């Protein structure tokens, strides 16, 4: 049974930081591409960042490039999203999703429904 558990969300002021975690069970993340996505009320789901299988190349949406950093710890089977310089427009429910193998690319960001597994989200609220 595959589970992806996102955590680490919360309320933070603009300019602040949060680190989200995506703990996986039932899969070994080293062999999966893991993506972070977000959805704000009234808006479509948006791909934020992803990290590829193996060596773990990374990809970022333009809206977060330079502010967010994705990483993974294979020993802990966990993917992280470090979010710095947060803006009110980053407010959303963030969730992680997994697809087997692959390299991080914009393809994963544009097709969140194409991921094999998706976990429940964690709320991130950035106040102005």
Sheet containing 68-73: give its strands across.
3-7, 18-25, 78-83, 68-73
Residue 113 has pLDDT above 90, yes or no: no
d(CA 121, CA 103) in angstroms, rounded, equals 23
How confident is the model over 59-72, as pLDDT tens digits?
999 999 999 999 99
For residues 70 and 79, is the Cβ–Cβ distance under 8 A? yes
pLDDT greater than 90 at residue 49: yes
DSSP 25: E
How far apart are alpha carbons 29 and 3 in whole angstroms?
12
What SS3 class is residue 79?
A: strand
């Amino acid at each position: 049974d595959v589970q992806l558990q996102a955590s680490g969300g919360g309320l933070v002021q603009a300019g602040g930081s949060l680190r989200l975690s995506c703990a996986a069970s039932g899969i070994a993340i080293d062999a999966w591409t893991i993506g972070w996505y977000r959805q704000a009320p009234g808006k479509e789901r948006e791909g934020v960042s992803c990290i590829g299988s193996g060596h773990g190349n990374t990809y970022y949406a333009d809206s977060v490039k330079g502010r967010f950093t994705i990483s993974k710890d294979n020993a802990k089977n966990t993917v992280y999203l470090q979010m710095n310089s947060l803006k009110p427009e980053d407010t959303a429910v963030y969730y992680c999703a997994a697809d087997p193998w692959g390299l991080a690319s914009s393809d994963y960001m544009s097709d969140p429904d194409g991921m094999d597994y998706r976990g429940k989200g964690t709320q991130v609220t950035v106040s102005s």
